[in-house]
Chains A and B, each alone.
Chain A
């Protein structure tokens, strides 16, 4: 079945360093969504990408959707301690979304 793979599983950075997480699908996705889960919290929707090659920015966060619509990335520039949490990508499978395993980001002040 369709899988959404996400790497790395963990990332530890110094505050101010950049961070990137990658998401890959075994099949073409109609769209891809990104969520953030703070420690002890619940996943919160960040953004959805739909078009091939699409790039969207939210302040220090840059989201990309690959040309083949099978991969995506989330890049955070100059991380801050408020960026800590787990970032999930999710792609549609039938009527539901399948989530990647997530990348857990920790930021050292």
Chain B
């Protein structure tokens, strides 16, 4: 257990639908990062939050949005889903004084 919790582990949904992925960072970590990993691909940075505020944006589609709540958990919202959105979505957290990322186990999203 890395300390970063992601739910759900698996999600199957139809095209056009909307889903919400949830992440709880390690205790004390203020930063949350979201990454997308398509089949046999690398990690594509989506978005970062720090203590409730958006800090950086990567290749995140307009159909996707995220937020970090006062208790520091984060949610990634994916809407108008397409087949190509099927992927593993990882959340990672990092401590303020640290440099390495701690990843959660990921949410495997399948759009059918």
Contacts and interface: CB of A to CB of B under 8 A. Distances in A.
Q: Do A and B bind each other?
A: yes
A99 B42 contact: yes
A97 interface: yes
Interface in A9-31: 31
A33 B90 CA distance: 18
- Chain B interface size, as a band, is 20 to 34
B48 interface: yes
B106 interface: yes
A45 B102 CA distance: 7
Interface of B: 2, 31, 33, 35, 40-43, 45, 48, 50, 55-56, 58, 90, 92, 99-106
A102 interface: yes
A42 B2 contact: yes
Nearest to A4: B42
Given A42-B2, A88-B42, A96 B103 contact: no
Contact of B99 (A42, A44, A48): A48
A31 B99 contact: yes
Nearest to B108: A40
A41 to B, nearest CB: 8
Interface residues of A, number: 22
A98 B45 CA distance: 7
13 contacts: A42-B90, A43-B43, A45-B100, A48-B100, A90-B101, A95-B48, A96-B45, A96-B48, A96-B56, A97-B101, A98-B45, A99-B43, A99-B45
A4 B92 CA distance: 19
A42 B103 contact: yes
A43 B42 contact: no
A3 B55 CA distance: 19
A42 B48 contact: no
Interface in A76-109: 88, 90, 94-102, 104
A44 B103 contact: yes
B7 to A, nearest CB: 14
B48 A33 contact: no
Given A42-B105, A96-B56, A33 B100 contact: yes
